[in-house]
Amino acid sequence: MEVTVKPQRLLGQGMLSIANKIPDKPALVVEGKPITYGELKDSALRLAGALLRLNVKRGDRVAIYMDSTWPCIVSIYGALLSGAVFLVINPQTKKDKLRFILEDSGATVLLTDAHLARSYLPAIKGLPGLKAVVSSGKLAEDLKGQEAPLAFDELLKDQDKLEEPVAVIPNDLAALIYTSGSTGFPKGVMQTHQAMVFAAWSIVEYLRLSSADRIMLMLPLAFDYGLYQLLMSMILGATLIVERSFIFPSLVYKRIEEQQATVFPGVPTIFATLIDNYKKSGLHFPSITRVTNTAAALPADFLPHIQKIFPNALIFKMYGLTECKRVSYLEPERLSEKADSVGKAIPGTEVFLLSPEGKVVPPGGQGILHVRGPHIMAGYWNRPEQSAYMLKPGKIPGERILCTHDWFRMDEEGFLYFLGRSDDIIKTRGEKVSPKEVENVLHGIPGLKEATVLGIPDDSLGEAVCAFVVVDSESGLTEKKIKMVCNRYLENFMVPQKVVFLDQMPLSANGKVDKKILATVEV
């Protein structure tokens, strides 16, 4: 029997297409509970119908302030199928920042969880433009005097589902993804349907994924790395295994084994925990065939341990930023040969380095990374000046390319080596120091588990190189011993003037090391 396959142009089409073909296949396993593609399609279309009855119009913003659970996933697809633009807000976001995002985006509906009421109730008070609040779960007794939100489950139960999604075109916005800004206020990265569909399929291609894969997710859906695990699973017809977070590693380990997960996306802080647990218990997961890393560079010294933890896995090092989702990946076959590289441009895109003056940087030189491709953001929501700072005139008339403002080196084969953010480059004694280069040496010291390097103001040096480290309690490492190793491998101006010992690294809501907090630590 011949099957007619429609081209996927819109972000929600992939899930609908899979649901029509294999409605009984598990799309999700949420905290151990399987949910089929047919159930996801039915619930998403019901929510889309409910949003239309709440007067959501094509292009309106629908804010999703929820844990990474079933209601959150239904909300993403319900918003898409209603023709709205969705934005997922991390559930750890506090009331002031939440209100800022809701005001900035002009959200018309807030979909949320009852246990977050103490944050969202004060945030929405007197908020103009907000038409409705829909909540999953029950409000605490002491909050029931507040105006009651609409009940998520009742809304789905009572509504007729849409027969067809609201018509939009690929140029329309699909999502706003809020990311930290240098001014202290988050910025909404505008991503169109065509940009997100392209990015998802490009990543699927180079990761060599298929419908047979079972992808583990314990990253926030507000984090684009987490969000794309969902999007890729749904366009493939794969299964996504969802846990709220990595706060309880043993639960994630149990789920990997129980569900026979095949793909493990992580960030360096997660891998540091895995390695620590491996050294204590020898844990390993033979079902995993793909391991991916992004958010921050994966130290080369982590790799031998990761290979033992995941003995049957291909390991993909990657680099990206929210403004274009993903920039590059390193083929696993080149991992030992190019251990310090983040690879080449993802399929269908192009990267190159320019000097601050705009001149092409030859192989081996250092320059600022620029990106061409369909995955580049449309700009920042309501921020034309900041958009212009990131989006520059391209190679052909009318084209815009992304200036990452990140410093890289590119070798003669086109492989990229991350050196640091423009703002991260430390200027000391008149020299420029890449924090990444110092961190690589620190990570090679036995007994040193984590390291982050910052520049701190210094009257005589301009900036002093400061290393924040987490070490094994039995390592016997001291500041003197760490500096001795650095002196062995680094030029003298790169050796940290100060080493600060921490019990653990402060983390942002997305699991990245929070350098803003580190900058406030007294040294």
- 3-class secondary-structure state, position 91: coil
Tokens of 87: 């934005």
For residues 424-446, give the mean pLDDT.
81
Residue 238: pLDDT above 70?
Answer: yes
Strands 173-179 and 187-192: antiparallel
Stretch among 21-30, 180-189, 280-289, 500-509 having the lowest mean pLDDT: 180-189
For residues 4-16, give the mean pLDDT.
82
For residues 315-325, give the mean pLDDT.
93
Residue 149: pLDDT above 60?
Answer: yes
For residues 131-153, give the mean pLDDT.
82
For residues 260-270, give the mean pLDDT.
92
pLDDT of residue 429: 67
pLDDT of residue 160: 77
For residues 82-90, give the mean pLDDT.
96
Stretch among 251-265, 271-285, 425-439, 476-490 having the lowest mean pLDDT: 425-439
**Percentage of residues of the chain with pLDDT beyond 90:** 70
**Taking Cα atoms as reference points, which of 312, 359, 345 lies closest to residue 416?**
345
Residue 450: pLDDT above 90?
Answer: yes
Residue 475: pLDDT above 80?
Answer: yes
Amino acid at 485: V
DSSP assignment of 157-226: HHSPPPSSPPP--TTSEEEEEEE--TTSS-EEEEEEHHHHHHHHHHHHHHHT--TT-EEEE-S-TTSHHH
Q: What is the pLDDT of residues 386-434, one digit of tens each?
A: 999 999 999 899 999 999 999 999 999 999 998 877 767 787 765 667 7
pLDDT of residue 182: 47
**Predicted TM-score (pTM) of this structure:** 0.85
Stretch among 356-360, 362-366, 378-382, 454-458 having the lowest mean pLDDT: 454-458
Strands 150-151 and 132-136: parallel
Helices marked H in 32-159: 37-53, 70-81, 95-105, 117-124, 152-158
Q: What structural domains does the chain harbor?
A: 13-168 (3.40.50.980), 194-420 (3.40.50.12780), 426-518 (3.30.300.30)
Phi-psi region of 184 (alpha: psi -120 to 50; beta: other; left: phi over 0): left
Instruction: Indicate the pLDDT class of residue 459, thresholds 50, 70 and 90.
Output: low
Of 518 and 294, more confident? 518
Of 282 and 36, more confident? 36
Q: What is the pLDDT of residues 17-75, one digit of tens each?
A: 999 999 999 999 999 999 999 999 999 999 999 999 999 999 999 999 999 999 999 99
**Percentage of residues of the chain with pLDDT beyond 70:** 94
Residue 229: pLDDT above 90?
Answer: yes
Question: Is residue 135 within 8 Å of 114, Cβ to Cβ?
Answer: yes
To the nearest 10°, report the CA torsion of 119, 120, 123, 126. -140
Residue 209: pLDDT above 70?
Answer: yes
Cα distance between residue 176 and residue 188, in whole Å: 5
Tell me the pLDDT of the chain averaged across its residues: 91
Q: What is the pLDDT of residues 338-373, one digit of tens each?
A: 988 999 999 999 999 999 999 999 999 899 999 999
Cα distance between residue 447 and residue 449, in whole Å: 6
pLDDT of residue 431: 67
| Residues with Cβ within 8 Å of residue 510, at least 6 apart in sequence | 90, 219, 220, 222, 223, 225, 267, 295
Cα distance between residue 513 and residue 504, in whole Å: 10
For residues 211-220, give the mean pLDDT.
95
How far is C-alpha 307 from the chain's CA centre?
23
Query: Rounded to whole angstroms, what are the CA distances from 179 to 183, 190, 200, 273, 518?
Result: 11, 11, 19, 25, 19
Stretch among 155-159, 230-234, 505-509 having the lowest mean pLDDT: 155-159
Residue 3: pLDDT above 70?
Answer: no
